Amino acid sequence: MIHFDNICKRYPSGYDALNRINLRLHKGQMAFLTGHSGAGKSTLLKLIAMIERPTRGQIFLDGVNLNNISNRKIPYIRRNIGIIFQNHHLLYDRPVFDNVAMPLIIQGYRRQEIRKRVRAALNQVGLLSKEKSDPITLSGGEQQRVGIARAIIHKPLLLLADEPTGNLDPELSLEIMQLFARFNQVGTTVLIASHDLDLIKHTGFPSISLQDGQVAHNGLPFTVSNN
């Protein structure tokens, strides 16, 4: 699903965020990305979502070399990815329903289909009763779940999450992680950046640890390959 081939990322300031990263995450796998802040977790996710481009090396997403994707084609790559942010990135000028519906509206789905899918997605994250609420009136955990509903509504192949539990207490964090595990069970590939080692241990999923822009430890089971 994701294949990093000798990836280097140097920011214009001269800072080397990633240095010779080689990684393979297979279809249907779920893994954590750990490391101190500044280790390169966010940069790695940004490269997959094409928010940044690598300085050197190649990234393959579902077999597609991202270096060959022009800026104009980026939206179509992103439509296969669901992205979840620490600060939710919800739009507060519209109700929960409209926030969750955005990916489908962008992809030109019909109204009935959108209504059906938004309800289903909100049901999955346990917020069906809040579809008409304003996001600002929801708690932090609920807002994060709205963000997750928005990320999974278009059934992406890959789910990326950057510190999704950063602002939540342990109990809520575990709930969120269980939600991710459930999406993984139905075949979605999941990659979560987190520094919450206790939580990661608790869930039992493998983790990749980054240090100073390099892979310090790769806990992925290499032998597993359903590609």
Q: Return residues touching other proteins (CB under 8 A).
A: 49, 51, 72, 75-81, 83, 89, 91, 93, 102-103, 105-111, 113, 150, 154-155
* Least CB distance to other proteins at residue 120 (A): 14
Nearest by Cα to 84 from 163, 175, 184: 163
Task: Quote the least distance from Cβ 108 to other proteins, whole Å.
Answer: 5
The residue among 153 and 215 lying less far from other proteins, judged by its C-beta, is 153
Q: Using alpha carbons only, how large is the chain's radius of gyration in Å?
A: 17
DSSP for residue 165: T
Residue type, 87: N
Q: How far is the CB of 151 from other proteins (least distance, A)?
A: 8
**Least Å distance between CB 200 and other proteins?**
25
Q: How far apart are CA 222 and CA 203, in angstroms?
A: 20
In this structure, are residues 210 and 216 in contact, taking their beta carbons and an 8 Å threshold?
yes
Q: How far is the CB of 29 from other proteins (least distance, A)?
A: 19
Q: Residue by residue, what is the 3-state secondary structure of 31-91?
A: EEEECCCCCCHHHHHHHHCCCCCCCEEEEEECCEEHHHCCHHHHHHHHCCEEEECCCCCCC
CB nearer to other proteins: give 79 or 195. 79
Paired tokens of 177: 């992680």
Give the pair of three-digit tokens for residue 196: 């919450």
Q: Are 191 and 158 in contact (CB under 8 A)?
A: yes
Which helix or strand (DSSP H or E) is residue 218 part of? Answer: strand 214-218
> Which of 90/215 has CB closer to other proteins?
90
Shortest Cβ distance from residue 223 to other proteins (Å)?
28
How far, in whole angstroms, is CA 14 from its chain's centroid?
27
- Nearer residue to other proteins within complex by CB, 147 or 213: 147
Shortest Å, Cβ 19 to other proteins: 21
Tell me whether residue 61 or residue 208 sits nearer to other proteins (CB atom): 61
